[in-house]
Amino acid sequence: MRHLMSPLDFSVKELDSLLALADDIEKNPAKYAHACDGKILATCFYEPSTRTRLSFESAMLRLGGQVLGFSEAGSSSAAKGESVSDTIRVISCYADICAIRHPKEGAPLVGSQKSLIPVINAGDGGHQHPTQTLTDLLTIKQKKGRLDHLTIGLCGDLKFGRTVHSLIEALVRYEDVSFVLISPEELRVPSYIREEVLDANNIPYKEVERLEDAMADLDILYMTRIQKERFFNEEEYLRMKGFYILDPKKMELAKDDMIVMHPLPRVNEISVEVDTDDRANYFEQAQYGVYVRMALILTLLEVQV
């Protein structure tokens, strides 16, 4: 039995197969409509979510399966003091696969250890968000046609943004990938990512503060929200909020075939005027999230279609 805690839990070859499966699902949805008949997905969300939880549920429903779960810790037995480990152990009696999001780093891993069913990390604190990474990889593959030979700009809250941490870890495995890390000093990527992921793999990267200084070089611009809920005080958050706003004027500096991505939710870091630019891909990215989660559920449940 396999769980998904980090994007590195899949080899590059396995990721290729998963993305190819997601592509086939997009093209031939009817073929998969009953692949998970009789199966149940549990979504255990101890933190707010729109896309991740609903795209998981949509994915299971589109495979013919069913869903159950909770969307806030207060409505689960966590409110009575039950451990994540016990909750997931019990949920393994009710479902065939489980996606868990938790504000504490490592909680899904702890939950997986006594689970009888595959557990998927749907985001753990400021740490990892592997299924967003699968979504991002599929988006890049479909839009750029490749996952190698790319310069990726990551902009915003690189310190607390878990989608950024998972995406960097996943992309360093492809050839000729380089990064431009665009953040204020206070929100730089954590040192473990710089040292153990980028430096350890000899990946070229630079760190800049101004988005304007990076735009012209990028094949992909990955915008992120300032992670308000992970700040220690409101004042600090307010100082950082509004640091980056991608607008049509900044888009003029970019290549014609650059793509803009964002895991969403957007607050104010991309002006709505950018939405009609052909290079804006964030809503399609959310759509790809459903196909890739369908592919992931099939893979972890070992369902052959």
**In terms of CB distance, is 64 or 103 closer to ligand NCD?**
103
For position 123 contacting ligand NCD by CB under 6 A, the verdict is: yes
Q: Which of 132, 166, 183, 281 binds ligand NCD (CB under 6 A)?
A: 132
For the beta carbon of residue 219, count every other beta carbon within 10 angstroms. Answer: 20
Nearer to ligand NCD, 32 or 288 (CB): 288
Contact status: 162 vs ligand NCD (CB under 6 A): yes
Contact 153, 212 (CB under 8 A): no
Per-residue contact track with ligand NCD, 245 to 284, x per CB under 6 A? ------------------xxx-------------------
- C-alpha R_g of the chain: 19
* Chain center to CA of 183: 19
Name the residue among 263, 288, 283, 259 with its Cα closest to residue 272: 283
108 vs 263, beta carbon nearer ligand NCD: 263
Residue 36 or residue 158: which is nearer to ligand NCD going by CB? 158
Count Cβ neighbours within 10 Å for each residue of 126-139 and write b for 16 or more, e otherwise.
bbbbbbbbbbbbbb
x/- map, 212-251, ligand NCD, by CB under 6 A? ------------xx--------------------------
Q: In this structure, what token pair is assigned to residue 90?
A: 């019990």
Q: By three-state DSSP, how is residue 128 classified?
A: strand
Site for ligand NCD in 22-61 (CB under 6 A): 51-52
User: How far is it, in rounded angstroms, from Cα 257 to Cα 235?
Assistant: 38
| Footprint on this chain of ligand NCD (rule: CB under 6 A) | 51-52, 123, 129, 132, 162-163, 224-225, 263-265
